[in-house]
A and B are shown apart, each in its own frame.
Chain A
Amino acid sequence: MSAALLQYLFSGLTSGAIYALAGLGFAIIYNASHVINFAQGEFIMIGGMASATMVAAGVPMPLAIVLALLIAMAVGVILEKFAIEPARNADVVTIIIITIGASIFLRGAAQIIWDKEFHSLPAFSGENPIAVLGATLMPQSLWVVGVAGVVIVALWWFFNRTMFGKAMLATSHNRLAAQLVGVGVKKVLLASFALSALLGAVGGVVVTPITFTNYEAGIMLGLKGFSAAVLGGLGNGTGAIVGGLIVGIVEALASGYLSSAYKDAIAFIIILFVLFFMPNGLFGKRGTDRV
């Protein structure tokens, strides 16, 4: 029976790490602009689709991955430049609605540029499952967990140790004050979109060998990633990772021990329960408004 439990945990780890990676992207844009970017899932899709179609066309995998990341970043920059920036004086809510529109547009564009089929990438380190105490785990799941870990360390370094990262944080705390001390606010917003697009695309590339991808793969990943980010505390990278793992493991345990028909509902009930007692999520800072 303990082998079964371990297998459920591995299953949860695989899904959870995917949700976590998707959740991280929300954190960055939220940090820089307090906007929740609902096109985040589409960045994941673009990373996956671009790399999968290029590999299928014969481009060597490392090159295809780098190109896919660059394409996603370019899309992020264009999105900010032509959709978000013209509305920079609008409400945060308005901008959030713009990102929803952008996500629908990107899905439509992906249908036309690529196709409507599912695509896959070969797993990075083969398809031989790793056996641990009677349970099995695919090497690609470790890749997802590892990449999520590297990303979180890199983000910490970026926000705490680099001038540009600090400028980004400053802009999120007080845009006017940041501008007064010489931070290029426009550039910061642009960079935050490029960065989160990059992050989304990295996620898309590492999860595609497990989940496959198609033009609307971003919907589910975006939704689960958003749940993970909210559960962990919006704007907090560690929170997104922990949140994602919790959602994934709860789903797996629920389908293992209770009923697979209710696993999604059980995960959502837990999220609601946590938010009821901790409205800012597990790791979120208490929101304070200066009067």
Chain B
Amino acid sequence: MQKLFKWGATAVVAAGFCAVAGTANAADPIKIGAFLSATGPASFLGEPEKKTLEMYVHKLNKDGGVQGRKIELVVYDDGGAGDKASTFAKRLIESDKVDLIIGGSTTATTMAAVPLIERAGVPFISLAGAVVIVEPVKKWVFKTPHTDRMAAEKVFADMQKRGITKIGMISEDAGFGKSGRDQSLLVVKNYGIEIVADEVYSPKDPDVTAQLTKIKNAPGVQAVFNFGFGQGPAIVTKNFKQLGIAVPLYQSHGVASKDFIKLAGPAAEGVRLPAAGLVVPGQLAATDPQKPVVTAFKKEYEEAFKSDVSTFAGHAYDGLQIALAAILRAGSTDKAKVRDEIEKTSGYVGTGGLVSMSPTDHMGLSLSAFHMVEIKNGDWMLMKD
């Protein structure tokens, strides 16, 4: 209430709405808004996210909703464009009057909407990767996926364990790969590793053997690390094999989907990468708290959509669960209370890992959320420590 009066000219109108909302009876639906990149270049993120949200909201409503209130889901497709994302965020806040927003499939769409959401004061759970979303901490902004920095740290920790000190880096010269490269350069020193060759490629280059030849000829390279997603890493993997480079190839979490193995074919054998437990549910130790969660989610998703579950679908699942748990604990959809409860999320076991947030950590995942896997016989194999 207090906040609303700050809006000056619109205060009277706002207060009117507020009064209505204040006396909301139990039958009023909980309104959850989402803007996702269900089409466009990032549709491989947004589409499974949208399907997941819709499936679970439908399921929850069939089972009687939350606290006897139905959930109403409003989803907009931003096509991966930042300007559309901020327009839709505005529409969600001002005309749909949602209680909470999930979304921003990409870092670009998330960051485009952040200023608006911060001003309006609506709890917001992003499904995008980059560190900038939660660093520095923004009051209303949370996120569920691992960051690119964590992926780099996990990879470097694995290299360090295997005594690798000199590596070649090849990354995509755009968005995800670029941010991943920057984060890698930032943390690589902490692991006593030196990057002796640092090459890039454009997202749609048909051939990267030139860059890989340069890395191959750099003195002392003990491993190669590729940061990117889409067809790029598959081409890198194939060219890597073509050149017969004998050191291990590490990929980022950006390729943790079966499509990568399908595209790269036999060349993918032996590729190592950090991935969430969701891709290897069967191989997790029986004592792993994540095991039942990811096994159930994988089963439900694959039964409903007849397609392989991806970690991105898992991000949306985690976002929805964290949000609903917070609403449940808050006992209402009061925005400030829900925000505080999201921040107090502790020990939530999700598809991405164990989530414990705090006022200084709006993501709440630790490095243990990642598992190093190696591709063997066209499937993921958990690497032995």
Residues of A in contact with B (beta carbons under 8 Å apart): 4, 7-8, 10-12, 14-15, 18, 111, 116-118, 120, 127, 129, 136, 138, 207, 210-212, 214, 216-217, 219-220, 251-253, 255-256, 260-261, 263-264
| Given known contacts A136-B243, A210-B207, A7 and B200 CB-to-CB distance under 8 angstroms | no
Asked if residues A212 and B210 are in contact (CB atoms below 8 Å), the reply is: no
Q: Which residues of B contact A264 (CB under 8 A)?
A: 202
Q: Which residues of A contact B199 (CB under 8 A)?
A: 255, 260
A-contact 0/1 string along B216-250, CB 8 Å cutoff: 01000000000000110011001000111000000
Asked if residues B231 and A211 are in contact (CB atoms below 8 Å), the reply is: yes
> Is residue B259 within 8 Å, beta carbon to beta carbon, of the partner chain?
yes
Give the segment of B40-48, B328-336, B352-360, B364-372 that binds chain A.
B40-48
11 contacts between A and B (CB under 8 A): A7-B210, A14-B209, A116-B39, A120-B263, A127-B265, A129-B244, A136-B242, A212-B231, A253-B210, A255-B214, A263-B202
Q: Which residues of B contact A211 (CB under 8 A)?
A: 204, 206, 231, 235
Q: Which residues of B contact A220 (CB under 8 A)?
A: 204
Asked if residues A261 and B200 are in contact (CB atoms below 8 Å), the reply is: yes
Shortest Cβ distance from B203 into A: residue = A220
> Is residue B262 within 8 Å, beta carbon to beta carbon, of the partner chain?
yes
| Given known contacts A129-B242, A136-B243, A264-B202, A120 and B262 CB-to-CB distance under 8 angstroms | yes
The distance in angstroms between the C-alpha atoms of A53 and B41, with both chains bound, is 20
> Is residue B378 within 8 Å, beta carbon to beta carbon, of the partner chain?
no
Q: Which residues of B contact A260 (CB under 8 A)?
A: 173, 199-201, 210-211, 214
Asked if residues A11 and B209 are in contact (CB atoms below 8 Å), the reply is: yes
> Is residue B213 within 8 Å, beta carbon to beta carbon, of the partner chain?
yes
> Is residue B266 within 8 Å, beta carbon to beta carbon, of the partner chain?
yes
Shortest Cβ distance from A5 into B: residue = B213
Shortest Cβ distance from B206 into A: residue = A211
Q: Which residues of A contact B211 (CB under 8 A)?
A: 255-256, 260
> Is residue B182 within 8 Å, beta carbon to beta carbon, of the partner chain?
no
Interface residues of B in 274-316 (CB under 8 A from A): none
Asked if residues A138 and B242 are in contact (CB atoms below 8 Å), the reply is: yes
Asked if residues B43 and A7 are in contact (CB atoms below 8 Å), the reply is: no
> Is residue B205 within 8 Å, beta carbon to beta carbon, of the partner chain?
yes
Residues of B in contact with A (beta carbons under 8 Å apart): 39, 41, 43-44, 47, 173, 199-202, 204-211, 213-214, 217, 230-231, 234-235, 238, 242-244, 259, 262-263, 265-267
Shortest Cβ distance from B260 into A: residue = A118
Q: Which residues of B contact A216 (CB under 8 A)?
A: 41
The distance in angstroms between the C-alpha atoms of A39 and B44, with both chains bound, is 24
A247: min CB distance to chain B, Å: 12
Asked if residues A18 and B244 are in contact (CB atoms below 8 Å), the reply is: no
Q: Which residues of B contact A210 (CB under 8 A)?
A: 206-207, 235
A160: min CB distance to chain B, Å: 32
| Given known contacts A210-B206, A264-B202, A7 and B213 CB-to-CB distance under 8 angstroms | yes
Contact pick for A116, options B43, B202, B244, B265, CB 8 Å: B43
Q: Which residues of B contact A120 (CB under 8 A)?
A: 262-263, 265
Asked if residues A116 and B47 are in contact (CB atoms below 8 Å), the reply is: yes
Q: Which residues of B contact A127 (CB under 8 A)?
A: 238, 265-267
Asked if residues A7 and B243 are in contact (CB atoms below 8 Å), the reply is: yes
Asked if residues A8 and B210 are in contact (CB atoms below 8 Å), the reply is: yes
Contact pick for B235, options A4, A212, A214, A252, CB 8 Å: A212
Apart from the given pairs A11-B209, A255-B214, 9 other A-B contacts in the complex at a CB distance below 8 Å: A11-B207, A14-B209, A118-B259, A127-B238, A129-B244, A253-B210, A256-B213, A256-B214, A260-B200
B28: min CB distance to chain A, Å: 36
Asked if residues B202 and A12 are in contact (CB atoms below 8 Å), the reply is: no
A24: min CB distance to chain B, Å: 16
Q: Which residues of B contact A263 (CB under 8 A)?
A: 202
A135: min CB distance to chain B, Å: 8
The distance in angstroms between the C-alpha atoms of A184 and B21, with both chains bound, is 71
Asked if residues B206 and A15 are in contact (CB atoms below 8 Å), the reply is: yes
The distance in angstroms between the C-alpha atoms of A253 and B200, with both chains bound, is 14
Q: Which residues of A contact B217 (CB under 8 A)?
A: 4
The distance in angstroms between the C-alpha atoms of A261 and B201, with both chains bound, is 7
A45: min CB distance to chain B, Å: 12
Asked if residues B213 and A4 are in contact (CB atoms below 8 Å), the reply is: yes
Asked if residues B244 and A214 are in contact (CB atoms below 8 Å), the reply is: no
Asked if residues B206 and A118 are in contact (CB atoms below 8 Å), the reply is: no
Contact pick for A136, options B47, B234, B244, CB 8 Å: B244
The distance in angstroms between the C-alpha atoms of A127 and B237, with both chains bound, is 13
A182: min CB distance to chain B, Å: 45
Q: Which residues of A contact B267 (CB under 8 A)?
A: 127
The 9 closest A-B pairs by CB, nearest first: A220-B204, A211-B206, A11-B209, A11-B210, A252-B210, A212-B231, A116-B43, A14-B207, A7-B213
Asked if residues B231 and A118 are in contact (CB atoms below 8 Å), the reply is: yes
Contact pick for A18, options B47, B206, B209, CB 8 Å: B206
Asked if residues B265 and A15 are in contact (CB atoms below 8 Å), the reply is: no
User: Which of A14, A127, A255 lies at the interface centre, i.e. has the most chain B CB atoms within 10 A of its CB?
Assistant: A255
Q: Which residues of B contact A207 (CB under 8 A)?
A: 206
Shortest Cβ distance from B232 into A: residue = A212
The distance in angstroms between the C-alpha atoms of A276 and B41, with both chains bound, is 35
A210: min CB distance to chain B, Å: 6
User: Which of B43, B213, B214, B267 lies at the interface centre, i.e. has the most chain A CB atoms within 10 A of its CB?
Assistant: B213
B117: min CB distance to chain A, Å: 27
User: Which of B235, B242, B244 lies at the interface centre, i.e. has the most chain A CB atoms within 10 A of its CB?
Assistant: B242
